[in-house]
Amino acid sequence: MAQNYFDKGEFDKATSMYEELDKKQPGNFYFTQKLVSCYQGLKQFDKAEKLLLSKKEKSNQPGFFVELGYNAQLQKDQSKADSYYKKAIDAVANQPNYAYQIGQAFEQKQLLQQAYNTYEIGQKNNSSMNFDYQMALLQGQMGNLDVMVVKLLDYSYSNVNATLNVQNQLVLFMQDDAENVFANSLKKELLIRTQKTQDIYWNQFLSWLYVNQKEYNKAFIQEKAIYKRNPESFDDIIQLAQICVNEKDNETAQAIFQFILQNTTDESTILNAQYFLLKNEIANSKPENYPLIQSKFDTLLSQFGDSPFSVDLQILAAHFKAFYLNDFENAKILLDKLMEMQLNIRQKAKVKMEMADVFVFNEKFNQAIIYYAQIQNDLPNDEYSHEASMRMAKTSFFKKDFDWAKKQAKELKQASTQLIANDAVELFLLISDNEAEDSLKVALQDFSKADLLEYQNKPAAALEAFLQILVKHKGQPIEAGTLYKVGRNYEKLGNFAKAISYYQTILDNHKDGIYIDEALFYSAEIYRKQLNDPEKAKSFYEKVVLEHPDSIYFTEARKQYRQLRGDKQQGI
């Protein structure tokens, strides 16, 4: 209760309660501190000083000098405050064991230089004490960031078990580093250390920094250097590959998995690498490549067998058969065989998810919904369950059951996964914005049909259907979403100039719509990856960063923007 009054600034009520507590436990330093703070809040500095002097006389603890000094400082009597602070520091010089207590007391009062001097004197007078960590952080708080970096790195190298603590502190400073100045300073110091010594500790630290900055290709360079000197384990490289997959840096992930295949004989590791490489190859393939991809599946499934060990590979094989070879029956047969195996609950959910997707592909919507619902029941409140719910909403949309799709999307708008929440918002707004002006929902029905064609991996047919919507429903609310879909399908078909033009139409005519950040981001991606125009790409990435900080594309846009500008400028 006393703390509650104190937090609300009701110092008179808190004071009476802390006085009672102090009487009951006169040796409790915490209650004394709180009572002193209450007196100070009421401007009763004389009472605070009298209490502190009486406590000091009874306990002879030098920490009271810090409290007395701070009480004087609040009254703007700096000479008196400095006198007390000197007494506290002198006590440490005489008895170094007081260093931590006094140093912490100064830190609590934000008396950073006095805290630093305390730790320095304590360590000097007792060589068994080590306050390098505290002193390094104090340097940072006092604005001496370069000094802090050097001291923290020295400390972590001397105390390897403290590396994680050091890295956590560095992350806190990087979070406030809007101009990337601190991160670049840290990077420079780490690069110097990797060049001066052959100790892989600094390569590992530098790899950690690159991962934190989402520069995964540079992290991979460090991990390769580590592996060459210590080829006993692939664990860190595999972990980096998985991070790249999760962050959708497919280019770096592919390079890592290829490196892994060249340097390991472990079957599980080989299977994971082959799975990703095949998945990436499928995503970037053309119909003429499909026979070669199928032969790779046949070889791998023959090598690793039809077992729970290769579930992900078999699911991918079924997906390829349905969505790329248009072979629904054999995809279903493969998934049925998987369902009969002894799988754990998450593996079973993966198979059910793919089975449902394949049913949607074949326009057997009710069967698909049954499987999505089973995942919801098997894994309630799980991220996988949320994904199944989103796909169920989309399936309802394909069924043209717009009311139910809208209801499901509304419930998912607060999903824990940002991507699911974003998709749910888009679907909800697509339906609600269009049904308001179209009671028969003709435009939505047309959009649903075109959207299903896109889902079925038929970009040419989907593109034609979306283009017809632009003609048939010109100027209606459905237009913005359709322009976006036209742009995306032109991209899939390799017509990047056309894609850019439709994204630009969104930017010109639908500035307040929900597709503006998509139009900016995908325009930037085309200019960077396909049209080799980094300056154009940079301008679009910059707009995402400056104008759409809540976008799901913000992080990737900022990363690419910084890389394109070379981090030479001050700014974002």
**SS3 sequence of 353-422:** HHHHHHHHHCCCHHHHHHHHHHHHHHCCCCHHHHHHHHHHHHHHHHCCCHHHHHHHHHHHCCCCCHHHHH
Q: What pLDDT is recorded for position 149?
A: 93
Residue 389 structure tokens: 């719910």
Closest CA to 505 of 524, 528, 479, 534: 479
Which residue carries 């754990």 as its tokens?
344
Q: Is pTM beyond 0.75 here? A: no
CA distance 317 to 311: 10
Of all residues in the chain, the percent with pLDDT exceeding 70 is: 98
Lookup: tokens for 325? 């070879």
Cα distance between residue 243 and residue 555, in whole Å:
15
Q: Is 260 left (phi over 0), alpha (psi -120 to 50) or beta?
A: alpha
Rounded Cα–Cα distance for residues 289 and 120 (Å)? 68
DSSP assignment string, 482-494: HHHHHHHHHHHTT
Ranges of residues in the chain whose predicted pLDDT is under 50: 568-572
What pLDDT does residue 248 have? 78
Name the token pair of 308: 């729970």
The pLDDT of residue 381: 85
- Rounded Cα distance between 62 and 87, Å, is 8
C-beta of residue 70 within 8 angstroms of C-beta of residue 98 = no
What is the DSSP code (8-state) at residue 308? G
Name the nearest CA neighbour of 126 among 162, 90, 92: 92
- The DSSP-derived string for 81-147 is HHHHHHHHHHHHHH-GGGHHHHHHHHHHTT-HHHHHHHHHHHHHH-TT---HHHHHHHHHHTT-HHH
* Backbone dihedral angles phi then psi of residue 456, each to the nearest 5 degrees: -80, 10
